[in-house]
Structure 1
């Protein structure tokens, strides 16, 4: 996810088994004029996705493009600093590189240079993921007729971790993205409501796919020594993800919790691991990246606890919904939209402990089935790819 903070980390659907039919490559207004579109995906570390939600989105848009058999040209901009092997192709996409890191403060010039290079190389659909480079959009509108489609991600400037100057820049970038993009994408209806209320502009609501999380990949298993029937939580260890709230709730329960995160990356994480790491029912694991091991860890969980309270639709939530287990989520509006109000919700440690104690087998089965039904209907990559490429055709 390519807004600065995420880089520090970083409708109706159909059954995921039903593949999207290949469309006529001559459909669409540009094709009627006898030329293929040149689509640029900008604002990520690159593909294949190894970093965060926007990278996973970019990779799956490439896969959708390949399956579509489209005559459009697709290019993904990548960071040469974050990709040791500089491949020139990935599936059906060309890859181009910028010699800056795609994360942190460097994300601003990284996105700006990527946008300028996309215009210079004749791309007529610029898909900007995140708002770090949005201050460049007024210039892009002056020098190019390319259509700009920006996914603004979450309401980043409201995150508590940002100081005054960073918050002001993020807010200005959000304004520029809405003002100078031809189309704006929100990943959650609550984000779309914010855009309408703040800027008087409408936007498309397109979330993320999560069905890749249940794909049979790799041969990894769960780490040794974990109990059966555990609750699972996994996230970047940040205050807005309510890690302290979850740990405090489970410390008072005689139930196992497996919590996966980057504990060593911040004073907040280190302090929490020191305080709670000796509790016998709490298993605090470092990040798990191997796809097979991550899938096994999720598949063996009996409950998923989701503490994110900022941003929009969170990829880790929609991925877990595909596993068909009950979700206990922070009660923010974003999570309620993502789960259609059918999960269980908490705001405090006391709320969460009470929800866990009161969760019976019948309710757990019903909630898990609801989560899986929503995920299969709304959060598959076929559905997401179709929505993005429909925007490319109409714009």
Structure 2
């Protein structure tokens, strides 16, 4: 079996959830000693070094950005190259290149497994034409893949309702956030304990709602995100950065510093209302910290209904103020138990490779 892994910036992962998935897919392949060969397609943009291997995987490069509008052509060229190099299992992460799948099915006998990610076309940031394209791409991914992976039961429910198709629910691991025990220095000037939020600064992550809630209560909030990447983020930072209890930090990537930042949190606030199973949430669950999450179906499935939920800033204020120490300890223990049962990379890797064997 020759496996092609497509749809990410590449490995090792330094960008987002799919890149972390790709890296841990390679780790599982290397550690499990499987006979299958593995190739990962990577973006060469902005890279000085272009190694040809990462652990057990061969690396191939496409000279385009893997995200944004270029991702459509990036994924299409990756698919064609995977077929040209006679890979017989293709794992496609995301639907950007899915409109190419009808052609791939015509010219190749490769079996295609697509992780459709979240319901991308519903995100607020997209305009009408982009939404229409993403919705068509989702349809193509479901229609022309041999198997579809949903990272959350709510996504699987959507696929069944919209297309009458079943999918395989395989989430993400998060144990790498605590596995290596790396401890570094958290950013200076923070209180000893605080509520923590960590996400991309986008409307569907309800950033404004979280800031409004914590601006009116005594508990300090540390909010980590890419504030300067959009007018939305810059405006929010300008409006709320002068509040003494609000600490708005730029992204923290260094593993030791990120570990220390998470370990000092007394509660985790998760505002995502789109997508599916969110990697930052399942990573945080491994720390045994109580979670206050937006009450969408995705988050309720991810936390098995055992977190506390909000849908307005007023509800978030009530949840934060009403979280007694004994309740916080119980919720934190439940989050850690769920993470250990469902969100480890060993379990996720095994599920992917069993599906590739079956398909």
What TM-score do you get using the length of structure 1 for normalisation?
A: 0.90
**Equivalent in the alignment of 2:344:** 380
**Equivalent in the alignment of 1:171:** 135
SS of corresponding position for 1:302: strand
**Equivalent in the alignment of 1:271:** 235
**Equivalent in the alignment of 1:359:** 323
Once the two structures are TM-superposed, the CA of residue 159 in structure 1 deviates from its matched residue by 1.0
In structure 1, what is the Cα distance between the partners aligned to 2:231 and 2:157?
35
CA RMSD of superposed structures (Å)? 0.8
**Equivalent in the alignment of 2:70:** 106
**Equivalent in the alignment of 1:344:** 308
Once the two structures are TM-superposed, the CA of residue 229 in structure 1 deviates from its matched residue by 1.6
The answer on 1:229 being equivalent to 2:193 is: yes
In structure 2, what is the Cα distance between the partners aligned to 1:159 and 1:394?
33
Q: How far does the alpha carbon of each residue in 1:37-76 deviate from its partner, in whole angstroms, 9 at most, with x for none? A: 0000000000000000000000000000001111110000
In structure 2, what is the Cα distance between the partners aligned to 1:38 and 1:127?
11
Aligned pairs for 1:1-395 within 5 A: 37-216=1-180, 218-395=182-359
In structure 2, what is the Cα distance between the partners aligned to 1:340 and 1:82?
40
Q: How far does the alpha carbon of each residue in 1:300-327 deviate from its partner, in whole angstroms, 9 at most, with x for none? A: 1110000000000000000000000100
In structure 1, what is the Cα distance between the partners aligned to 2:114 and 2:323?
41
Once the two structures are TM-superposed, the CA of residue 82 in structure 1 deviates from its matched residue by 4.3
In structure 1, what is the Cα distance between the partners aligned to 2:122 and 2:205?
14
In structure 2, what is the Cα distance between the partners aligned to 1:75 and 1:221?
36
In structure 2, what is the Cα distance between the partners aligned to 1:94 and 1:342?
41
What TM-score do you get using the length of structure 2 for normalisation?
A: 0.99
SS of corresponding position for 1:104: coil
Q: How far does the alpha carbon of each residue in 1:158-215 deviate from its partner, in whole angstroms, 9 at most, with x for none? A: 1121111100000000000000000000000000000000100000000000000112
5+ long unaligned stretches in structure 2: none
- Alignment check: 8 A CA contact 1:259 1:285 kept: yes
In structure 1, what is the Cα distance between the partners aligned to 2:206 and 2:235?
14
In structure 2, what is the Cα distance between the partners aligned to 1:233 and 1:85?
34
In structure 1, what is the Cα distance between the partners aligned to 2:141 and 2:253?
32
- Alignment check: 8 A CA contact 1:82 1:102 kept: no
In structure 2, what is the Cα distance between the partners aligned to 1:164 and 1:260?
30
- Alignment check: 8 A CA contact 1:305 1:328 kept: yes
